[in-house]
């Protein structure tokens, strides 16, 4: 169990630190514009596509509770194959929640606008997507005895 917690914590801290470092670059003023993608600073008060912004201050507490539940459930499962993707998801989620406490909204900075206008997102959002796909693959793949 201690080894599992150490692995989970290492992944969480790595993703969290990487995301916060990238966000600091944009908070400090970095901007870059192209015909396809703009690197700009936006504070998202909701979740994906600004959904649930009406929850305001409650949203960060709800997200913390959900992340704690994910960690608890993962440790309860005692399945080491889930540790890395869950660590990625939790590290990214905690980084976005930290933004809500520090900046009042999630720091987003990648704006894709080629062919269609997409939501502004960040590294943590991409890591959460990767973790979810990874977990689906692990969950629905056949376990070998």
Average pLDDT over residues 86-99: 96
The CB-side HSE value for 4 (13 A sphere, CA atoms) comes to 15
Catalytic residue among 28, 35, 38, 125: 125
Where in the chain are the domains? 2-140
* Cβ–Cβ under 8 Å, residues 130 and 53: no
> Which one is predicted more confidently, 17 or 82?
17
| Tokens, residue 144 | 């070998």
Q: Is 19 a catalytic residue?
A: no
How high is the pLDDT of residue 129? 95
Over residues 21-50, the pLDDT tens digits come to: 999 999 999 999 999 999 999 998 866 555
Confidence band of 53 (pLDDT split at 50, 70, 90): low
| Tokens, residue 131 | 């973790």
Question: What is the share, in percent, of the chain residues with pLDDT greater than 70?
Answer: 90
Highest mean pLDDT among 40-44, 52-56, 67-71, 113-117: 40-44
Sign of CA dihedral 70, 75, 78, 84: positive
**What is the 3-state secondary structure of 56-79?**
CHHHHHHHHHHHHHHHHHHHHHCC
Confidence band of 19 (pLDDT split at 50, 70, 90): very high
Catalytic residue among 35, 38, 99, 108: 108
Q: Is 125 a catalytic residue?
A: yes
Confidence band of 54 (pLDDT split at 50, 70, 90): low
Q: What is the pTM of this model?
A: 0.87
Confidence band of 56 (pLDDT split at 50, 70, 90): low
Comparing CA positions, the residue from 18, 16, 20, 8 lying closest to residue 91 is: 16
Confidence band of 116 (pLDDT split at 50, 70, 90): confident
| DSSP letter (8 states) at residue 88 | H
């Amino acid at each position: 169990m201690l080894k599992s917690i150490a692995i989970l914590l290492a992944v969480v801290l790595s993703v969290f630190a990487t995301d916060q470092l990238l966000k600091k670059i944009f908070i400090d003023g970095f901007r870059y514009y192209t015909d396809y993608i703009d690197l700009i600073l936006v504070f998202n008060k909701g979740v994906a596509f600004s959904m649930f912004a009406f929850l305001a201050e409650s949203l960060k507490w709800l997200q913390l509770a959900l992340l704690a539940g994910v960690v608890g459930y993962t440790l309860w499962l005692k399945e080491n194959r889930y540790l890395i993707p869950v660590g990625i998801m939790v590290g990214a989620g905690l980084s976005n929640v930290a933004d809500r406490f520090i900046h009042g909204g999630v720091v987003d900075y990648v704006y894709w606008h080629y062919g269609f206008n997409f939501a502004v997102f960040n590294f943590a959002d991409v890591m959460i997507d990767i973790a979810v796909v990874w977990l689906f693959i692990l969950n629905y793949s056949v376990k070998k005895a």
